[in-house]
Amino acid sequence: MNIYRNPPKKDWNSLLKRPELNHDALEQQVQQIIQDVAENGDTAVRKYSSEFDAYNGLDLEVASSEIQNAEKEVSEELRRAIEEAYWNIQTFHKKQLHPQGNVVTTAGVRCWQKPVAINKVGLYVPGGSAPLLSTVLMLGIPAKIAGCQEVVLCTPPDEKGKVSASILYIAALLGIDRVFKVGGVQAIASMAHGTESIPRVNKIFGPGNQYVTMAKQIVSRNTVAIDMPAGPSELAVIADATSNPAFIASDLLSQAEHGPDSQVLLLSDSGHMIDEVKGELQKQLELLPRKDIAAKALENSKMIRLNSQEEILEMINAYAPEHLIIVTENYAELADQVLNAGSVFLGDYTPESAGDYASGTNHTLPTNGWAHAYSGVNMDSFYKKITFQEISRYGLHNIGESIMTMAEAEQLQAHSSAVSIRLNYSEDA
């Protein structure tokens, strides 16, 4: 960890700068795979599955019997944990739905907004040594609450064409229609363009490595919507002299173990606290199986002492962290002042890992400063809100003059005539 004490404001920008994500070099390579899948469908998908996942089988879809039988391969303990997380995530997301009423904006003019589930959604779940089973919950639960008609899941297989049983178990639990053992760029391309086996979807969700991220970005330009732009995961912690340094160190490390490019930040008005956290970090780091990864992430990480909580909040809002933990004595007061963050964790007993798995909030969150403008995945992500309007003859009489005046000011005569032809029409004729 690098420690900064009272850096002058003019240096904040460079201090908070994230590593440049230059994916341009990847773009051509990823673009070629996408085009190949768009043109050659399953044949191309199989080629890349063989090349990148060493899977040479013909089957691209997981058999429904395999999905139904996955339960047996998942320990009872893990099933219980999954079911508890399921309950909490479902409870929180269901409460985000709001009934939409009619609005009479002028007598005779009735407007309303109707949320309609996106028809077909695709969920991408990275595999590898540690399958991200929690991602299936975080994306699958809101998709099923929304009532998306088709929910498709892609995740990479091992050499034998097997997919993690815990992922299949959750798919069965949620009622996810179809699971494909396809990963990487070829998975994103398949869901964007459709192949003989894999249906084309309207929106793709989910995390992934830099190839997957680039593929999502490319297909989102012309073909399909995506959840949000992605970058390395981030955590910022705000602490004061009363915080618990061991707890903080455990949170910083749980972020750091994600990958060497993880971004970790500690802000405090107490230099003493920073020193204590530093000591705790060294102690706890030694105990971690992924300590090499975590140590690497910590090399780029920063502990910053600032003079006041006011300055700390200003810096946090400029940085817009994906995750923000506030463990000061007055955390509720500071929480009110957070303007830019993905998800916020309050108090000593709210570790980030609670939100990663089981508190109920979503863990798919905006990184890389996108929290300035993007929300994390939430129920809105699975809906379009279509507007409707119904105007009576009387209503059009009321607002017609205004429409015609404005249309003519914009030199759009036909827009005006669409009103006048109606107002001049005699229903008795």
Closest residue by Cα to residue 270 from 240, 243, 310: 240
Nearer to a copy of itself, 69 or 106 (CB): 106
User: Count residues contacting a copy of itself (CB under 8 A)?
Assistant: 128
Is residue 29 a contact point for a copy of itself (CB under 8 A)? no
Residue 294 near residue 288, CB atoms below 8 Å: yes
Give the chain's largest Cα–Cα span.
90
Q: Which of residues 188-217 bind a copy of itself (CB under 8 A)?
A: 202-203, 217
Question: Nearest distance from residue 96's CB to a copy of itself, in Å?
Answer: 6
Question: Nearest distance from residue 39's CB to a copy of itself, in Å?
Answer: 16
What is the bridge-based pairing of β-strands 150-154 and 120-124?
parallel
Site string for a copy of itself, 125-154 (x = CB under 8 A): ----xxxxxx--------------------
Nearer to a copy of itself, 278 or 384 (CB): 384
**Residue appearing with tokens 């964007």:** 192
Closest residue by Cα to residue 369 from 261, 210, 232: 232
Is residue 171 a contact point for a copy of itself (CB under 8 A)? no
Rounded to 5 degrees, what are φ and ψ at 205?
-120, 155
Question: Nearest distance from residue 69's CB to a copy of itself, in Å?
Answer: 18
E strands present in 376-419? 383-391
CA distance 67 to 163: 10
Q: Considering only residues 212, 224, 239, 295, which one is a binding residue for a copy of itself as defined by CB under 8 A?
A: 224
Is residue 411 a contact point for a copy of itself (CB under 8 A)? yes
CA distance 222 to 370: 21
Question: Nearest distance from residue 227's CB to a copy of itself, in Å?
Answer: 11
Rounded to 5 degrees, what are φ and ψ at 418?
-60, -25
Out of 322, 352, 397, 410, the active site residue is 322
Question: Nearest distance from residue 67's CB to a copy of itself, in Å?
Answer: 18
Q: Which of residues 322-381 bind a copy of itself (CB under 8 A)?
A: 335, 338-362, 366, 370-376, 378, 380
Is residue 91 a contact point for a copy of itself (CB under 8 A)? yes
What is the bridge-based pairing of β-strands 234-239 and 225-226?
unpaired
Q: Considering only residues 60, 85, 143, 238, which one is a binding residue for a copy of itself as defined by CB under 8 A?
A: 85
What angle is formed at CA 123 by the lines to CA 119 and CA 125, rounded to 5 degrees? 175
CA distance 213 to 67: 27
Is 323 noted as a catalytic residue in this protein? yes
Q: Considering only residues 289, 308, 426, 428, which one is a binding residue for a copy of itself as defined by CB under 8 A?
A: 289
Is residue 26 a contact point for a copy of itself (CB under 8 A)? no
Out of 323, 329, 352, 410, the active site residue is 323
Structure tokens at 35: 């085009």
* Residue numbers annotated as active site: 322-323
